[in-house]
Amino acid sequence: MIKYLKTDDSKCVGCMTCTSVCSRLYFKEDNPARSAIQVLDRGNNEFHLIACDQECRKCVAECPVQAIRVSAAGVVMIDKKLCVGCLACVAVCPIGAMRYYPGDSTTFKCVACGACAKECPKQALEIVRKEEGAAS
């Protein structure tokens, strides 16, 4: 089973509520650069949401100190005590969902907590569970 944040770009209006909720919850500051979900402005009022799909798991395989693991809920998690900040996970992430903020000693990513989905005024985000290998 995989638990992840499903995104719907067609509903996103670029309000940045999700980035604000995420950064405030995990870093105690309203800073989009410290959000595990990213909102990219494509222009013409079109936006693209980026969050870990919890399924590719390239970061798990790439981590040289095994600081990244998959939880029982199917969520890719980073053990901050083991992470050495080498950024190998950031480099290998194919969608840019593994994040790093300059000055921090560890990386971060979406852990499918659902806080952003609860606050999204347009329901562009949703926490879902699916069987591994099943289509999204």
Work out the burial of residue 1: count CB atoms within 10 Å of its CB; fewer than 13 is exposed, 13-18 middle, 19 or more buried. exposed
- Kindly state the average pLDDT of the residues 96-125: 97
| pLDDT tens per residue across span 27-72 | 999 999 999 999 999 999 999 999 999 999 999 999 999 999 999 9
Q: Which domains are seen in the chain, by residue range? A: 2-127 (3.30.70.20)
pLDDT at 119: 98
Q: Which residue has the tokens 């919850």?
A: 25
pTM of the model: 0.92
CA 2/CA 123 separation, integer angstroms: 20
Cβ–Cβ under 8 Å, residues 51 and 16: no
Phi/psi at 39 (nearest 5 deg)? Answer: -120, 115
